[in-house]
Structure 1
Amino acid sequence: MLDWKPPFRTNVVGSDSSSPNVSAAPSRESTPHTMHRPEMSPDASLVLVGIRGCGKRSLGFVAAAALKRKFITADYYFQETTGVTRKEYLKSHGSQKFQRRDIEVLQMMLDNNQKQCIIELGLGSLTRPVQDHLRQYCKKNPVVHLIRDINRIQQLLGLDDEAVRLLRDGDSSHRACSNYEFYNCEDRTVVVSDDGSPDRRSGDYSFKLQEVKEDFTRFVSFVTGANVNHSSYDSPFVLLETPPELRSFTHAIFVRSSDLIADAVNLPELESGGDAIELCVDRWSPQLVATVSEQVSVLRRNARTPVILSIDTVALAAEARDQSPAQASRSYFDILEHGLRLGVEYLVVDLGQDQSQLAQIVRSRGKTKIIGQHIFEASARITWEDENCVAFYRDAEKLGCQLVRLLRVAVQREENAAVAQFTRRIGRLPGTHPPLIAYNIGPLGRTSQIFNSILTAVKHPAIVRLEENGYQCDPQLTSADIMRALCQSYMLDPLNFYILGKDVAYSVSPAMHNAAIQYCGLSHKYSIPDSPSLAVVDRLGRDPNFGGASVVQPWRVEVYQKLASKSRHAEAIGAINTIMPLRAAPNGSMFPLQEQASRRGQAGRPLGFFGENTDWVGIMTCITRHLSPRNAISAPKTTGLVIGAGGMARAATYALLRLGCRKIFIYNRTQSRGEEVARHFNSWASSQVDSTEVVRVLRSTQDDWPADALPPSLIASCVPADPDRDEPPANFEMPMQWLGSPTGGVVLELSYKPLDTPLLRQMRQFRSETGRPWVLSDGLENVIEQGIAQFELMTGRKAPRRLMTREVLRNYEGEGGFRFDEKTIQARLDGVYSM
């Protein structure tokens, strides 16, 4: 159950209120005023503030690695400026002179590093002069207030209750001098020792920030507008690159604050079943802001989709009956402002609220998109045919909303046809206008909910209420319900998907894809062709119900030659593992790619194939998941090693290049094939990253590691450990002289037949003997990740990650009939499995 205790108290005084330089916190917890959140430069420095133990140093490393920026700490800058440490300066000059000098240095640090930096402020951020400086800094830079559960901080730092009170009292003032906030959720992957502290001896400790690293990377990417999505395809087929409002039949999982407080949500299951997640605030309390911070963070962690924040004003009014109308209005706008502080992707505003305050929210939105909303009650005289409906849409557009959501409580089924006509009417307006979300709510509005194309609110099986709350706005259907209805009404067609290649009878792909298809409510089928041969590719090119195919060895090269179009990534790698049909328009021409992507659920005559590669995405995902902040990729320093020279080795090399690694070595038993791969990518790099030799070939495992490069911290083994054709197994093990990385790193074993390869056994023993934090990833992890990316490419639906993972693990059969037991499967699903 979630602990909803606030991370700090609400009636706060400064920890040293007698000092004129120490800030006194505001008397109420809610946001004191609307902060500056203008269009900031993508390279504006990002500042982190917060109390001890909130994670500033760790998250600072994460942000610096993600954004490829310099990380500056207050301690480092003080010593660089004064020549001595803080402790030494305090001892030599006394507390008053130290405090004045510390404030001066902090202000200099901010002023002299306004671009391309991550700045961590220490306790000096609690002083009034520095906070005044930060308020001005917020006008051009993101200043992020980090918060964390105070009980966890007390446990980690070993503090007594009085020390915790002082920390908590001082932290409240940080809200007034920052424009963003991030709640630092605990990682489920942290391995703890007997006393409850993180176990630094564990092999897992090196990636103990795995989940929060992903959370904070997405957060800083969003608030800065910087592109840290290394998996970027620049393709309309990739869900992450096309916002939900620009895709067809997207859904938002609807969760109420009260659901989370009542522990009525199975949080891990929220990772599928919607393209976004909507948190509806429906509970009022003096600690409301702190509660919303934690709930947004918890939903981000589990759903991994954009967050929509909305407010149920009726429910809040019922909760806070003692509030005056003015207080209720202030509470409403405090929540909106706080949503902007949290960097939610979408914020819903009630078009009936005070227009001047709404305009202020729109002006200070930063990167958040505003959804202007109006709900027509059943008693309202306005109908969908009424001109006032168009007026509401126009008002939202004039206000500056990026989307408009109009809902009406249906009292008869005929209103579903009326809302469809209204949607078409708005679509015919000349020029460019905000996307419209319009449907009827309540049981009689389900038909319009099915056919609404953008961000329909849906319920989810993971939300189990003991009794229905009776709210008329709550959704009636799940995403799978809607997709099944669209298939049954022939809006979407049943499509056939295949795996193409030699020796695919043992593949776990059919089990993985079919489970996901069924979960999403689709009517497709994924199978192995009856007569596997290259001729089947030509037959699929004539099948109007062909939806796509996974392509494995040895057909990747042959199918590559048959493509009408391919992604730039597939072209750079020189290999594909996924093909999709490119369908004909009614006039016989080929639909453009954007239109092809939006028609993925519809049959039609293919005119050719589009080729893609998801192997590199799977490899890159595994690397970034397991890479510790200490081993963050730095172009001048990080060294990668790829074993092999086949298609998977090409994907691994490309993944390392995309991640920023600029020193990559290849070892292959047949040296000429390794040299061919090196020439290919050096030619590519010369035009892409302004470097002529990023990939080099190692000649022998007997040689020392090259003296002009650091030992590798990223290792990808791409050779089969099982017999390949008539050749013996590779049985590769790392030469000991190549394992010199003092900070360990990541080893990816891409073979999964057998799963426990000689390389993995060697690295476990080496880790145990040396204590170096090498993190190991077996071949099934990559199979799952590339399959998830492949499913989303081919179907256009968000993949149910946990379900697909479970199906792969349940259906995998290794040497000697080995199968995973349920305990191990659950450990891998929960992210606490250690190799």
Structure 2
Amino acid sequence: MQFSVEREREKEMEGGVCALVGGRSLEEMKGAIGEAAEQGAHLVELCLDTIAPPFDTTQHLSSLLHLCPVPAIVSFRPRWAGGLYDRDEDERLRTLLLAAELGYPFVDIEFESASDFLVRLDRQRCKNCKIIISYYNGSESLNSDRLQDLMAELKELGGDIIKFISVAQRITDVAPMFQLLSLSNVPSICVATGERGQICQLLSRKYGGLYIVGSLDSSEGLVPCQPTLSRLIKTFQIARINERTEVFGLISCPVNHSIGPVIHNAAFSEINYNGVYIPFLVDDLAEFFKVYNGFNFSGFSVGIPYKVDALKFCDEIDISAQAIGAVNTIIRRKCDGKLIGYNTDSEAAISAIEDCLAEHQNTKTNVLQDKLLVLIGSGGAGKAIAFGAKQRGARIVVTDSCYERAEELADAVGGEALMLDLLDDYGPESGMILANACPVGMYPHMDGSPIDKKALKNYVLVFDAIYNPPVTKLMREATECRAAVVGGIEMFVRQATAQFELFTGQHAPEKQMRQLINSSLHNKQH
């Protein structure tokens, strides 16, 4: 039998979001179906293996079919295929055959059982049911050659739709799946499990995947680390993605703490720009750029710990980023495909400090000239602050948990290095500025501060680059010591809007972005 899906049936799935639905009882399953429909699922996969016995096959299947407000896929996975069913195999196949006979639009059968199932399936009687043949590998990633071989084997079996599920041990393991979707001449679905595989679900629509898999909050364990249905629809606005969508994202490790996807995707929508911004959880920067360079992703934000290392993967570097020695933004130039590195952190941080200091001191010009700025941290953000402050004429003292790094940065900006354990007693003059660019006090470890409260009396202004939480312990204690305070949110807003304009070539909707940043961080704390 040839692979063919009637157009009207295929349209029920094409580009949609499929919610995985499970439950220990029929009532739980029904509740999950309702939740999926409310959240905007285009179809549901009824995972029958999650229902605890006894299971009244005919009654339960009929009841669920009539209840579903959207097209339903029936699956009944055994343990060897990543499911929970561990009883009689013949009973499992009879259940799936009955689902086809009852009129379910889709039945999912495992590759290993497909021959037996299809021999027993009455095609004439079940002509309205499309068969998904799925291959599951929960222990290893599938390379391009293996995927092509499996594709040929699955096609030979004679189902209607092909589905691959495998673990992604590295983010680069997803690339062969995108290539398979792009080249496939049959309706195909790819799902990569694990945190590093989430980009498969986020970008499958761009590369031709028939539908995208998401989980309900109540069913996240069905496939490990799947993005939730609400996140797919609301944050990533999956329905907007097509083959022409430009891909941007944050390269970082870790990455899921970032609110960047919320901000940038909403901003894309606000100006009607066909782009999507996703998290790239990258363990090996060189491997990432080697594997994905041919995919022509349009741009990247660069986060911890790659702001310095990312320089070597840029074809050209903006003069400011070159001086700083760190990039937080990379753009693929459209005319020649070259990667151009920028740094929007520096101006964002320094302008935030200047504006706060100008307001505090009721002055407008040269507010940093000859001021003593004490910097904690010499990573990418610290370098951006140090070089920006140097350009404004500030005197700079650098401290870091690694004194050698502090010395290196201090030498680069003509400043001084300070041992970290001397920071609490450092106070050669009053009216100093403190800038924190280290992660002490960041969510979820919010009880820490990089400096003793008593030492804050020497500072007229305290800046904390941390934006989550919006108000850190350092900021609270600085306020109590009557210092002017500016937090990482202000830096984040300014660098994000500058980054967005580099991404799109258009003005950023700053007001909306600022509102989203504030509300997103507030929600994270509750």
The TM-score normalised by the length of structure 1 is 0.31
The TM-score normalised by the length of structure 2 is 0.49
Q: Which has the higher strand share?
A: 2
Q: Higher relative contact order by CA 8 Å / sep ≥ 6: 1 or 2?
A: 1
